[in-house]
């Protein structure tokens, strides 16, 4: 079920750090091995018990929260402005759904199932689920999913806007790759700035968001890619972007 144990958690943090820092990486796709599951979340037998058996004071909890990168790196504390695509090939549950929610585009197989099931085990979604799901779907729907811990199928996930597309299982990765190839044809610095404006702007007032947008837009104007784009348009050719 591609559950995340401590070793996988650390490896994912390393991989996402490389994605963030490697200038040759413009887009990343996250998927699960096999066809049964994208990810069933944290391994309840290995990862979760590390926090059991000891009381945690409010002060200690705040200290730990300030250091915590979240499940698999991308759910908290690691800002990646490059586009992330989730290719959801089966069960997408608990921390697995939180990983998918931390991605920007989501394509799901027809047999995929989604749920934040933590309350079944006296836990809450602790890797962004209580914050990202209500931002991705209607509040009442998010409340129902989180408070009941029940799952929904791919068709319902698409209806409520949780995923962008639903396709047959064999088409999940091709669909994700098609998105990646399209994004790779765009100006990479502009794509990253647009993502940053959207994500950071969600937590701002409209006026502050507009100022952020303008700042990012003005910054882009001094790049070589910003010269190449309009020139290619005028010359009626495909632009060749370099990411600088």
Q: Which residues are catalytic?
A: 98, 118
- What would the two tokens of residue 24 be? 């040759």
DSSP 165: E
Measured CA to CA, the distance from residue 74 to residue 80 in angstroms comes to 8
Closest by CA position to 115, among listed 188, 30, 196, 40: 40
Per DSSP bridges, beta strands 105-109 and 113-115 are unpaired
Q: What is the DSSP letter of 151?
A: -
| Closest CA relative to residue 107, chosen from 87, 90, 91 | 87
For 234, counting Cβ atoms within 10 Å of its Cβ (0-12 exposed, 13-18 middle, 19+ buried), the class is exposed
- Which residue, chain included where needed, has tokens 């929610």? 101
């Amino acid at each position: 079920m591609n559950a995340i144990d401590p070793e996988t958690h650390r490896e994912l943090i390393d991989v996402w750090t490389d994605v963030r820092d490697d200038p040759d990486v413009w887009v990343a796709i996250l998927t699960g091995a096999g066809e049964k599951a994208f990810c069933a979340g944290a391994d309840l037998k290995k990862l979760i018990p590390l926090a059991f058996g000891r009381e945690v004071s409010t002060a200690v909890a705040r200290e730990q929260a300030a250091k915590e990168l979240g499940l698999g790196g991308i759910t908290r504390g690691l800002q990646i402005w490059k586009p992330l695509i989730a290719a959801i090939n089966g069960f997408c549950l608990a921390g697995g759904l939180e990983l998918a929610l931390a991605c920007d585009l989501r394509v799901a197989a027809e047999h995929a199932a989604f749920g934040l099931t933590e309350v079944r085990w006296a836990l809450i979604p602790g890797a962004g689920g209580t914050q990202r799901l209500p931002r991705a779907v209607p509040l009442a729907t998010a409340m129902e999913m989180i408070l009941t811990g029940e799952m929904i199928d791919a068709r319902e996930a698409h209806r409520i806007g949780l995923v962008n597309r639903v396709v047959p299982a064999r088409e999940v990765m091709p669909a994700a790759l098609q998105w990646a190839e399209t994004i790779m044809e765009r100006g990479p610095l502009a794509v990253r700035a647009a993502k940053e404006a959207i994500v950071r702007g969600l937590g701002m007032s409209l006026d502050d968001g507009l100022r952020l947008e303008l700042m990012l837009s003005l910054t882009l104007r001094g790049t070589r890619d910003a010269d190449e784009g309009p020139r290619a348009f005028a010359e009626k050719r495909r632009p060749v972007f370099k990411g600088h």
